[in-house]
Amino acid sequence: MRRIALLMAILFPALQGCGTATIEDAVPSGAAQTSAQPQPSSAAFATPGAYPNLNVIPTPAAEHLTPEEVAAKSEELRQRRDTLSAGGGGVADETATLRRLGNSHADEALKAIEGR
């Protein structure tokens, strides 16, 4: 028991020295400034410590699509899906050419590494 008390008497003051750092020491002064924070755009939500007014209708960020635009875009995407699933995507199969090119690049890299 005496050993524990002695150990605590020695270590406790040494451990208190670790707690002297403040947040100002750890954070750069520019990050601690609150003036760089963006201000809320709506006055209804700008009151700190009060409940927000939920009756304020938010303004949309973009125009909403009309039902005609939704139908046109859906049909366009449906046609594109059908074209791609039928294999008529217009992309030629170049697998053999790409494999041959990859093998030649590997050979060139090995020659450059080995100094041939």
pLDDT digits over 36-68, tens only?
455 555 555 567 778 877 888 888 888 999 999
User: pLDDT at position 70, please?
Assistant: 96
CA distances from 112 to 68, 77, 108, 115 (A): 60, 48, 6, 5
Query: What average pLDDT does the segment 4-21 reach?
Result: 70
pLDDT above 70 as % of the chain: 67
User: pLDDT at position 107, please?
Assistant: 83
Query: For residue range 68-107, what is the model confidence (pLDDT) as tens digits?
Result: 999 999 999 999 999 888 876 556 678 888 888 888 888 8
CA distance between the termini of the chain: 75
Identify the residue with better confidence: 32 or 28: 28
Residue linked to tokens 């960020």: 61
